[in-house]
Structure 1
C-alpha cells in the first residue's frame, strides 16, 4: 500500500502541473488568440496581440510623451489627452482592436453602434470587472449590474427628480455665495487677483454635494469627503503600479492607510445615516436632502442590516452608505472639471464671456439666480454644452461583453471589452463639420438634437438606461455657479497658465487653471 501511494504521488503532481500549465496557456495565449481571430475574421483591424502586456508599453510611452509638453491655446486636445486611441483610429478606422493585458478592447466610433451598445437591449454589456482597488472607493450605483443596478436605480430615482432638484437651488447659491465673498475680498485688496480655479471648484462642488446630500450634517459630510479624497489619491497611485495579486493585503504603510480610511469613512457615514433615519421616523427631521430623500424612497420601517433580510424594494444600511460615497465620487470631481474648463474657455474667448454676462444681467440682474431664471439662460446653456463637447469630464465609456452579442453587423464574443471614446467622437469632423475643433456655442442654438449630424454624437453624461442619474443636478449647479460668477467678475487667463489638459479619472488641467479676476 505504501509503495502504491509513493508511485501515485509523482503522477498526481504531474497531472496538477499539466493542468496548471494548460490553464495558464489558455489564459495567456489560446483564448486571446481565439478572440483576435474571431474579430479579425469580421474585417476589424487593430494592433496584434502581445502576450501578457498587450499594448500597455506603447500606451504608457505615448501618454508620457504627450503629457510632457503643453499645448497652444487651442481646443485640439486629443493628441495630448488620448494619443493612443487617436493613433488607433488613424491607423485602423472607426472600428478597431487594441489590447490591455490579455483582454482585447473593441474601440467603437460609429454612433449607431454606440446607440445599440448603450441601449443594452440584450443586457449583455455591463461595466468591466472592477479592480478591488476601485471597489474600496464605492460599491454604489455606477458599479452595479443587472437586478441590483435596477433596484438601486429605482430607489434612488425620486431623489433626483427635477421637482426635487428645484428645491435645492438655494443650497447651490449658499455654497457659491461663500466662494464669491472670498474672491471679492481678494479682488478688493488690489483691484485684481490670480486664482487657481481647479482647487477652488473642487472645494465648491464638495461643499455643494455635502450640503445637498447631508443637509444640516454637511460639515461632517465635508470631513468624510476630505478623507475620501485622500483615499482616491492613494487608490490612483496604487493603480499606476504593476498589479501583483494579493499585494493589497500586505501590511504596508499605504495599504494600512487605505484600510483605515475606508473604515473611518464607512463608520462616519453609518452614524450620519442611522441618525437621519431615526430623526425622520420620529419626525424630528424632514427628507430635505439627498440622504433623506434616499431613505424616504427606501420606504421601510427600519433599515435592513444585511442582504438576508433585504426585500426587492429596499436597500440595506451598507448599501445606503455605499450610495453616499457615490454622491461624492460622481457628483464632485466631474462638475469641478466641467466648471474649470468653462472658466478657461471663456477666458480664451472674451467676446462669448461678455455675451454670457449680458444675458445673466438681463435675466437675473443682481439678484441670486433661481430655477426659473437659470432656465431662461439660452446663451449660457449653449456655452456649457459646447465646453462639454470639447472638454468632456469623462473622456470615454467603458463596457464589457459578458455574453456573445451582436452590434450592427459585428458579432462580439464574450470576454471582449468595449471602449466608446466620447472625446474623439465629440471632436469628429465627419459628425460636427470642419470646425469641430473650434469653440462655437451657436452650434447648440437649436438644442442638442440639431447640433450635429447624429444626435448620439454628443453623450457627455452617457446615454440610454444608464445615463448619469445626477445629470440634472450637475447642470443646475453649473448654471447657478456661472451666473453668480458672471454677475460679479470678469476674468482672463493668467500669464502663468499652461494649457495642459490630461486625465486622472476626470479631465483636469495638469498644471492648474490660473485665472485673473477683476470687477466687470
Structure 2
C-alpha cells in the first residue's frame, strides 16, 4: 500500500515537472517563434526574437546613448525621443516588428491603419497587459475594457460637458491669477530667470484640485509629490523583465511602491469621506465637480453600474496624474517655442490685448483666440505630451490587409506621424502655426488626418476640451503680463518619461510688461 502511494506521488511530481517544463518551453520559445513566423510570412519585417529579453537591452542602449547629450535648438526631436523606434521605421518601414520579452510588438506608423486601430468598436484591440507594478500608477477608466469600460466612461463623461466646463472657468481664472501674481513678485527688477516646468506643474495641479475636487493645490500637493516618486519607480519596473510573483517579494523598492500607493489612497479616501459628510450636511450639491459627480454613483443600489469607493479612488489617482502632467508639459513647451519664435509671441500677445486688454479672459474670449489656438495646436503637433499609444490583440484580428494573431502588442507612435513629411510637407520640422488656420481637419496635406495628440476613436481623451480651455486661458494671461526669452542656461533636450518633458528643465527669462 505504501509503495503504491509513493509511486503515485513520484508519478504526480514527474507529471507536474514535465507540465511546467512544457509551459516554460511554450512560453519562451515555441509561441514566440510561431508568432514570428506568422508575421514574417505576411512580409512584416523587423528584429528576430531573442530568448526572454527580446529587444529590451537594445532599446535601453539606444535610449541611454540618445539621452546622454543635448540637441541643437531645433525641432528634429524624433531621433532623440524615439531612438530605437526611429531606427526601426527607417530600416524596416512604417509597419515593423520588435520584441519586448516574449511578446512581439508591432509598430504601426501608418495613419490609415492607426486610425482603424484606434477606432475599433468591437474590442479586438485592447490595452496591453501590464506589469502590475506599473498599474499602481495608472488604473481607472484608462485600463478598463469591454462593458465595464463603457459603463465607467458613461459615468465620467457628464463631468466634461460644455455646461460643466463653463462652470469651471472661475476656478481656471483663480489658478491663473495666482500664477501671474506669483510671477510678478519674482520679477522685481524688470526681469527674472526661472525654470517654468515646476511652475506650470504647480499651476495645473491647482486647476485639477479646484475643478475636480473642490480644493486648492496645497491640499493636493502631497498627492502630486507622492505620484512623482511613484512614477520614477513605475518607469524602472516597466524597463525590467516581469517575473510573476516577484512583486510580492519585500525588496526595498517593492515596499516603497506599495507604501506610496497606500499613502495616496489614504489621502484620497479621507478627501472622499469629508466630501460625503459635506453632502450629507447639505454643504455641497454633489454635482459641482468630478468628485461630487462620481460620489453619486458610489453604493447606489438602484444602479447596476455603480462604482465602489475603491473604483473612485483609482479614478481620482488617474485624474490627478494625467490632468497635471499633460497640461503642464504642453504649456512648458509652448513658452519654450514662443521664446524661440518671438514673432509669433508678439502676434499672440497682440491678439489677446486686442480681444480683452488686461482683463481676465472669459470663455467667449477664449473661444475666439484664433492665433493662440493655432499656436497651441502646432505645439501639440511638435511636442505632444503623450508620444505613443499601446494596444494588444486578445484574438486573431484582420486590419489593413494584415492578419494579426492573438497575443501581439501594437505600438502607435503618434509622435512619428506628427513629423511625417508625407502628411505635413517638407517643412514638417518647422514651427508653423498657420497649418491650423482652417482647423485640425485641414491641417495636414490633402486633409488626411495625421494629428492624434489626444488619441482617437471611442477612447479619445475625455479631458481634451478641459485641457484646451486651461491652456488657452493660462497662455493668454501670461502673454498679457509678460514677455519671455530663453535663458542662456537652457539646454534643449526633449525626452520621454511617461510624458514628453525637457530633460534639464525649461529655463527662461521673464520680463514684466
Mean Cα displacement is larger for which, 404-413 or 256-265?
256-265
Secondary structure at the aligned position of 2:449 is classed as: helix
Matches of 1:142 and 1:231 in 2, distance apart? 18
Q: 1:135 maps to which residue?
A: 135
Task: Give the alignment partner of residue 496 of structure 1, picking from 483, 489, 495.
Answer: 489
Secondary structure at the aligned position of 2:208 is classed as: helix
What CA deviation, in whole Å up to 9, does each residue of 1:300-323 have, x standing for no partner? xxx329xxx684332112111211
Matches of 1:55 and 1:434 in 2, distance apart? 32
Task: Give the alignment partner of residue 512 of structure 1, picking from 505, 509, 513.
Answer: 505
What CA deviation, in whole Å up to 9, does each residue of 1:380-428 have, x standing for no partner? 1000000000111111010001111111211111100001101000000
The answer on whether the counterparts of 2:127 and 2:392 sit within 8 Å (CA) in structure 1 is yes
Query: Could you tell me the TM-score, scaled by structure 2's length?
Result: 0.96
Secondary structure at the aligned position of 1:65 is classed as: helix
Following superposition, the deviation at residue 514 of structure 1 comes to 0.4
Task: Give the alignment partner of residue 333 of structure 1, picking from 322, 325, 328.
Answer: 325
Mean Cα displacement is larger for which, 497-506 or 102-111?
102-111
Following superposition, the deviation at residue 268 of structure 1 comes to 2.3
Following superposition, the deviation at residue 255 of structure 1 comes to 2.8
1:175 to 1:84, Cα distance in 2 relative to 1, 3 A: same
Q: 1:346 maps to which residue?
A: 338
Q: 1:379 maps to which residue?
A: 371
- What's the C-alpha RMSD, in Å, of the aligned pairs? 1.7
Following superposition, the deviation at residue 130 of structure 1 comes to 2.1
Listed as ranges, the matches of 1:428-507 within 5 Å are 428-453=420-445, 454-507=447-500
Matches of 1:423 and 1:344 in 2, distance apart? 18
Matches of 1:138 and 1:86 in 2, distance apart? 26
Q: 1:232 maps to which residue?
A: 231
The reply on whether 1:159 has 2:151 as its aligned counterpart is no
Following superposition, the deviation at residue 237 of structure 1 comes to 3.7
The answer on whether the counterparts of 1:217 and 1:272 sit within 8 Å (CA) in structure 2 is no
Count how many residue pairs are aligned between Structure 1 and Structure 2. Answer: 511
1:44 to 1:238, Cα distance in 2 relative to 1, 3 A: closer
The answer on whether the counterparts of 1:151 and 1:312 sit within 8 Å (CA) in structure 2 is no
What CA deviation, in whole Å up to 9, does each residue of 1:155-191 have, x standing for no partner? 0000011221111111112112112111111112x22
Matches of 2:395 and 2:326 in 1, distance apart? 31
Matches of 1:86 and 1:498 in 2, distance apart? 22
Following superposition, the deviation at residue 342 of structure 1 comes to 0.5
The answer on whether the counterparts of 1:198 and 1:336 sit within 8 Å (CA) in structure 2 is yes
Query: Could you tell me the TM-score, scaled by structure 1's length?
Result: 0.95
The answer on whether the counterparts of 2:131 and 2:237 sit within 8 Å (CA) in structure 1 is no
1:429 to 1:379, Cα distance in 2 relative to 1, 3 A: same
Q: 2:356 maps to which residue?
A: 364
Mean Cα displacement is larger for which, 247-256 or 389-398?
247-256
The reply on whether 1:251 has 2:246 as its aligned counterpart is no
Q: 1:284 maps to which residue?
A: 283
Matches of 2:29 and 2:240 in 1, distance apart? 24
Q: Which runs of 5+ in 2 are unaligned?
A: none
